[in-house]
Structure 1
Amino acid sequence: MTVVRPGDLGEAEVALWRDLQLSTPTLDNPFLSIEFALAVDRLRSYARVAVVEDAGKVVAFLPFERHSFGIGKPLGSWLTTCHGLIAEPGLELCGRTLLRACGLSVFDFDHMVAGQPTFAPFESAVRPVPIMDLTSGFETYVAHVREHSPKNYKTIRYKERKLAREHGEVRLEWRATDAGTMRTLTAWKSDQYRRTGRVDRFAQPWIVELIEQMHATDTPSFGGVLTMLYAGDTPVAGHFGLRTHHTLVGWFPAYDPEFARYSPGIMHHLHMAEQAASHGLGQVDMGKGGREYKGWLKSGVIHVSEGRVSRPSATAAVHWMGRTPVNKARSIVVDRPSLYRLADRLLKGFGRVRTTLQPDAMEKEPSGAS
């Protein structure tokens, strides 16, 4: 096995990576694509990929990040919603031997493709990921939503008619290419992060640059998709995500809070699903998490796992003490809807206080809109 930067892979290895992903349904996620690995490699010096060989033949790739003291993280870490071993189904490697070859003492994961034989022994939890299944067409999907969430569906369609009457025809732009549209979305998202007590991801220049690179990418097997919902000529909600040939993955949804009473984010998701189906996509992955709207918009689930692989070392012990209690606490909150809602309210309260106490700092804080 060898460990290289993603950009150092040869043409044959890149082609094999694509073939393995295309032929394995569980790997159908853009965060597992070679294009994403190459983009992260251009921006972050710690991007690596383990190239696994058997009898002189490459059989697997593991993209990861190698940090100080042998700490390993999935490529893209907390920014991504899927990671895993790019290999044929059933390939089983020794997890600890793999770590040793990668020069790692510990490897944490929280969005691993569930059930991969190499990592399955180290899974501490398996989580459902809600999806909008479009394989039978948008009308079939909508029929499912009507049947399982009739009240919610009627309410959102009523709000859409109201929005159209008061502000103009509701329409969705699919794969918007204008940089100004992206700036509008990232400004909303930065504002949402601050209002809800989260860290503003767009305050980090490398993330902004990554988004820009992904926005400019459009190939048959991989691309960035920026969608924007309008009422008349006014943008009210949008989303930027990544796609393969079959799957669109949710990444950065946001809306204008001035239109919150119309539930534009949910409205946008329905229009986005309709356009995704019309462009030949088979599903929209909404990401794991406790948001209630995902529960009634979903028409299926896939699964990701959380866990930790480590080798005996002082680094692994210190890392365990720092991370495991936090991860267990997070799991308890995620598994209990009442605690999830309480935590969400507390974070929003913190965001409101922070904004009130530091208005000037908030105005000067860099974001993807600048």
Structure 2
Amino acid sequence: MIHDVAETFYLLSGIYSLILIIIGTPANLICFYIFSRLVPNRNNPTIIVFSYLGLIEVIIPFTWNMNYAVREILWRFLSPQSFRTHGNLEQTSIIVCKLISYFAYFSLQCSAWLKTVAILARCILLHHQCKLRNRLNRADTAKQISLTIIILLLFINIPVFVFNGKRYPSNKNSSVNASQTYEVKCYASNFFSIYEIVHLMLYNCLPTTIMIICNILIARKVHESHNRLKCTKNRHISKRSLKRGLLTKSLVFINILFILLTAPSALFYIFIRHKFKYRNLLTMSLSNLATTSHVLSFVIYLITSTDFRDALSRTRHRKNSRKTFTPEKTTNSIQKCTSLKDANEVN
């Protein structure tokens, strides 16, 4: 009974991983395109970070979630022989093992730190007395910081690519004359017992701590601003200030979503280190939950940002207007113009 329930949950987790890939890829690509090309305030530092964030979060579902989808849908239920042979997509070859693990660690850490930098910069910009305010309010500074984070984390995760993935003999008890077969094992190196702690610090602990502090400071500053507006007779709020407020709201919600959905996996890895029967199922479920925070950014932008909604509606309107101008209609209009011209010449 318990085994059947577990098998059902394995399948559901695999399907959910596939849904994250199918929905997350176009959603994050749209976010990148809108923030980098369409929104009017593209030089805003927060918008610049959002554009880089959209591009990085495209990678995330194609790492461990792709492994879960292939393993639980294609192999466990449709091809049991492949499941018995490999177990994971990462075990098909050393290069696949290295690429999936490298880009998984890199993209998750990069996404977390881009969100952290965005909320930290927003917090500093709201505090007018801070000396760094003018420097952080420049588009060039936002680009430099974002690229520095990306390049730095690419280098930090190089050891993952180097040390992960080893080939071990799969028939140790076979005779000497028998053909030797090998199997690929990922995360088997002693290096990962240390690196998992590093990843936990880079992806969860440090970013979450900074996000919580910044969110508290922003909430306090916004509360003080509302109190000042209540005390003054002139309560007119400029359009620019309103947009800044909506941008801050988007950023705060994204950070809160990240904290809530990634905290369970962090707590699991900190406090539950021992192995048990359905550990893989629980790990997969928590990993899917964490990835959800990187897919739902599109929904938050859509709800909280008027510029994002306007840009998206303009894109849809432009696409629909292109459909109306079909080649057949264009040909008919040209023929009508030609016939009118000929008629005028005859007259």
- The TM-score, its normalising length taken from structure 1, stands at 0.22
Largest Rg, 1 or 2? 2
Per residue, is there more strand in 1 or in 2?
1
What is the TM-score of this pair, normalised by structure 2?
Answer: 0.23
From the two aligned structures, give the one with the greater helix fraction. Answer: 2
